[in-house]
Structure 1
């Protein structure tokens, strides 16, 4: 009466087989394939550092560089800042360029005038007095152009501070002066206005 039912006791035959259970788990949610060894996985993930076809890779790289230079040159002609060099990008740089291009700068005439004086020094090489006068006049022109560039920068600096804040002039003095000493037609990026006198607001 109080004895256990023999049929309800678990038999040794009903115990789960660990191998079969593992197989069932793998089929249900596993990968369904054996895990690859570490060496095999590392070999599969390796990529060659040097392309197999170096000649083709070099040709592709040269073409990409050529395309980048062409885009940059076109941007310098049209004013498209997306492809300009980093030194020419930004509203502050654009303002500096527009101000310098709108102004008559003595520096933009310096190069052709200096070439004329160099020719004159060769012509009057035998005339010591004349050659000395030419040299002093050339030095005077250099001094005047430097003073003019200084005046230009003082005015531009005030405008930059008023428009962009106290930190705007930082690093832009040489950028403005170098542009002022270039021939207007040779400046890059190209001036956006063809004539002098159109100052930025």
Structure 2
């Protein structure tokens, strides 16, 4: 009869049901098998590695930690650590000499301080002769005791000239910095002293190294 299914149709339906994937097989193909435990959080993982020692509070504590660390290292490891530290110090020194902002001391950082250094380095400062000339005067005082009075007077005059040149340099730097950076709070006596101290140094000994030539406009 039309409303009755034949035996062949019933067998086909049962075969299709048997061959369809089971829920368990579908879940395995769609999902990765669980590890059986929850993934540890970051804090739990860090806690398992052990507590992290706080940074040293002073130099003596840092020195004690370095000594304790060296006691657990072999001779070859200590040599490699010293070589690595030496290379790191040399690299930091080279970058500081080159004026790399990241490696400069706090007193040298910032566009204002960089501009002040350029002003000092572009000028032939009389104060820069202080160190070599003072050494010459000292030698003359001890080498020519009969002329020590005249040498002392000449040294005093030279020191007064150095002071006058340093004062002029500090004021000049402050004036030009106010013109270039009108909103900057870095100025006054501190900036003038910074410029004068750099002017007192011999050009080849200045840190960072001069980035401008003599006579270059600031």
TM-score (norm 1): 0.67
Aligned pairs (5 A) from 1:11-50: 44=48, 46-47=50-51, 49=53
Structural RMSD (CA): 3.1
Aligned pairs (5 A) from 1:143-162: 143-162=160-179
Q: 2:90 aligns with which of 70, 75, 81?
A: 70
Report what 1:141 is aligned to.
Answer: 158
Q: 2:211 aligns with which of 179, 192, 195?
A: 192
2:116–2:173 contact (8 Å) kept in structure 1: yes
Structure 1 regions of 5+ residues with no counterpart? 1-30, 34-40
Aligned pairs (5 A) from 1:162-177: 162-164=179-181, 165-169=183-187, 171-177=190-196
2:166–2:199 contact (8 Å) kept in structure 1: yes
Task: Figure out how many residues of one structure are paired with residues of the other and give that number.
Answer: 161
Decide which moves more: 67-76 or 183-192.
Answer: 67-76
* Deviation by residue 1:6-63 (Cα, 9 ceiling, x = unmatched): xxxxxxxxxxxxxxxxxxxxxxxxx956xxxxxxx9x845347576935588667645
Could you list the structure 1 runs, at least 4 aligned residues long, displaced by more than 3 angstroms after superposition.
Answer: 47-65
Tell whether 2:128 aligns with 1:108.
yes
Distance change (3 Å), C-alpha of 1:46 and 1:80: closer
Q: Which has the higher contact order (CA 8 A, sep 6+)?
A: 1
Deviation at 1:86, TM superposition (A): 2.7
Distance change (3 Å), C-alpha of 1:45 and 1:111: closer
Report what 2:119 is aligned to.
Answer: 99
1:97–1:179 contact (8 Å) kept in structure 2: yes
* Deviation by residue 1:178-197 (Cα, 9 ceiling, x = unmatched): 1100111111111112x311
Report what 1:181 is aligned to.
Answer: 200
